[in-house]
Structure 1
Amino acid sequence: MASSFLPLFASAVVALFSWRTNAISVDSKPADMDLWGVSAANLTKYFDHPNATGIYHLHAPDISIAYADRRQFRDDWSLSIAVVADIPLDERAWATKEQRADRSFTGTKLTLQAPPRNSDNSSAAHISWTVCLIEYSPYFKKDVSALRRPNDDDNNSCSSILSQECIAAMEEDAIKKYTGSSPDFPCHCPSTDKLPACEGQMRWSGGCSARRHNATEINTQWLDGKYDWRFIGGDRTERGNITAYNELGSIAWPTIVLWGQSPNATTGGQGVRVNNTAKMVCMRAKNATQGSIAPATSGGRRNTVSTVTAGFVWIAIWMMLM
């Protein structure tokens, strides 16, 4: 029986697993699009009850204050990840019986949470700020095994794949390359192979995307400050395939968040980029959701938040004896 880096349910013991390194099939889309043909609306309801989650709280600038003012920080920004097993393909209204022969997949959702807005809008993002979201997409044949090796000090900090010096260099390079004077393309991706502090360390061959979000977007499109930016779907398999759940669910997702000067901001004589800040995080789903059940056996039901069945209790006991 295969055990897992990823929590199966709240009472399970996490054990090591020898991962295969060949490519796995994934579908990765912005969170307002469908995934393997399942609509964004239907996907969202499954993520209301995830199997496993992870969260990293960010010490970030208070962007409700004008950029040129004295910089202040707050701790209610966060990056989070949620993993759900056995999302059924039969949610696709257009699917034929043959098309849904592989009946389900494991899904991952990535979220950036900004501070919720107060009723008087005093915490709304100031027009002088821009937020860059920089994400690295693993190429699943080369990079994925390295992204599955957490260490005791990881805590979503990327320390299991990069040195602290390299992480700091990546953050510094993101700030250095940020050009608030370019309204169309102000955000840029740092690259480990171009930084001396990262020499000999992991290189991402799957590419990187950098997206800018201005204050208007944050204030009007991020409901309660929440921005679900990515859905990822793993291999389409029979229901209850715990290997498929492990394949996708254990991966760390490297991300850099940068808070920078808007192209429209004035600096008050302080100069461009004086208050820019960047943070690199590798989100990993390390916490089992209370009451969550591991993927059901073939033909069984999807994970729920109901009572764990006898079969899953046996799994937990077996893992504890390993």
Structure 2
Amino acid sequence: MRRVAFGAFLANTPNFTGRYPIAGPNISTPPILTGLTDDNLIDGWSWSIATAADLLLENSSTTENQSDYYTGGKLVLNAPSSVVSGGRNLIVDNEWNLCVYHWDLANASYPEHLRNDNGTYGSILSDEGIVDMQEPALPPLNSHVCSCPQVNTIPPCKGNDDASRVFGTNCTALSFSATQLRRSGLWDEGTLEIRAFGDATTHPSGNRTAYGNIGSLAWPVKVWYGTDGYYDKASLSCVRATDTADRSNEPAGMSSTNSLDSSWTIFAAAVLSCVLMP
């Protein structure tokens, strides 16, 4: 399946979706210079996720129950329509920077109760832990290089096995300057794709084993918006699908004894790497 078709299928016929509004500023205007303030927060920033149980492989026929289907999904960051120009590029004042963090849970012993988290990580973190994990991580402030938070240095998280299993895994910190945020082709109609995911083996149409495991996952992500000394805002999200589409079933989560091992991965899965062509 080509990437365009993959995205279109998830947009038009997903089985399980979720959307999580997050706090974010109006990056199209200069930051307020009176200190750290929420006066310029606007609606429209959000995370969204979509998962489909039966995606047909490229160049396959539609013979019923043949083993040419796979489970796949996509996680994206959405910008407010008010900061999107012409349907694609973002309108960004030169002083803004953006950091996006995500954690790779492949080969992790996945905490089962994350599959029922409300989006805040309240299932594994205390209120203090959530606040500390949301602390900006951009040292030094003028370097424009994002740095992942270290869970073992956060007091409320020490001794928390679930927090260590989630946030002690590989973290990727993506750094975007104002110029990069405006770059043509980076954002597609105001959305930034953070990861595509799926299982590495195909299945017959209607087999829901992979859908039950992958479709019920929660993904750890964090966004930081900031400027050189004027503004600081971050949000930590536990993004999972929560809404079933018409005539769809909610995934039945797998047992926590099943770690997320090399049987599936992000972008590098055998199926996705072969079928998600440009």
Residue 41 of structure 2 corresponds to which residue in structure 1?
A: 73
The amino acid across from 2:130 in the alignment is: I
- For 2:9, give the aligned amino acid: Y
Which of 195, 207, 213 is matched with 1:247 structurally?
213
- In the other structure, the counterpart of 2:140 is 179
1:44 aligns with 2:7: yes
Structure-2 change in CA distance of 1:92 and 1:200 (3 Å): farther
Alignment map for 1:74-223 (pairs within 5 Å): 74-89=42-57, 91=58, 102-116=67-81, 117=83, 124-148=91-115, 150=116, 154-172=117-135, 175-183=136-144, 186-201=145-160, 202-203=163-164, 204=166, 205-219=168-182, 220=184, 221-223=186-188
How far apart in 1 are the matches of 2:111 and 2:21?
24
Residue 293 of structure 1 aligns with an amino acid whose one-letter code is: S
**2:31 partner letter:** Y
SS of 1:79's equivalent in the other structure is strand
Pairwise CA distance, 1:213 = 1.9
Shift of 1:144: 5.0
Structure 1 residue 120: deviation in Å? 9.3
Q: Which moved more, 1:126-135 or 1:43-52?
A: 43-52
Distance 1:102-1:286 versus aligned 2 partners, 3 A rule: same
- Provide the TM-score with structure 1 as the length reference: 0.65
TM-score by length of 2: 0.74
Radius of gyration: which is bigger?
1
| Closer/same/farther in 2, CA of residues 50 and 120 from structure 1, 3 Å limit | closer
Point out where structure 2 has 5 or more consecutive residues left out of the alignment: 61-65, 251-278
Q: 1:119 and 1:235 mapped to 2: Cα distance?
A: 37
- 1:283 matched to 2:251? The reply is no
CA contact (8 A) 1:237 1:244 kept: no
Residue 248 (structure 2) pairs with residue 293 (structure 1): yes
Inter-partner Cα distance in structure 1 for 2:85 and 2:106: 43
1:233 to 195, 198, 205: 198
Richer in strand (by share): 2
Measure how far apart 1:235 and its partner are: 4.2
| Structure 1 CA distance for aligned equivalents of residues 224 and 19 of structure 2 | 18
Aligned-pair distance for 1:225?
1.8
- Percentage of matched positions with identical amino acids: 31
- Map Cα deviations across residues 96-146 of structure 1 (whole Å, 9 max, x no partner): xxxxx852221121110111236699x822111111110011134413535
- Compute the displacement of 1:294 (Å): 4.4
Equivalent residues of 1:108, 1:232 under 8 A apart:
yes
Shift of 1:73: 0.8
Cα distance, 1:63–1:147 mapped onto 2, change above 3 Å = same
Gapped regions of structure 1 (runs ≥ 5):
1-37, 94-100, 262-271, 296-322
Shift of 1:251: 0.7
Q: Which residue of 1 aligns with 2:224?
A: 258
Q: Distance in 1 between matches of 2:191 and 2:56?
A: 26
How many equivalent residue pairs?
230
Please give the alpha-carbon distance, in whole angstroms, between the structure 1 residues aligned to 2:59 and 2:79: 32
Q: 1:136 to 1:286 in 2, by over 3 A?
A: same
Secondary structure class of the residue paired with 2:123: coil
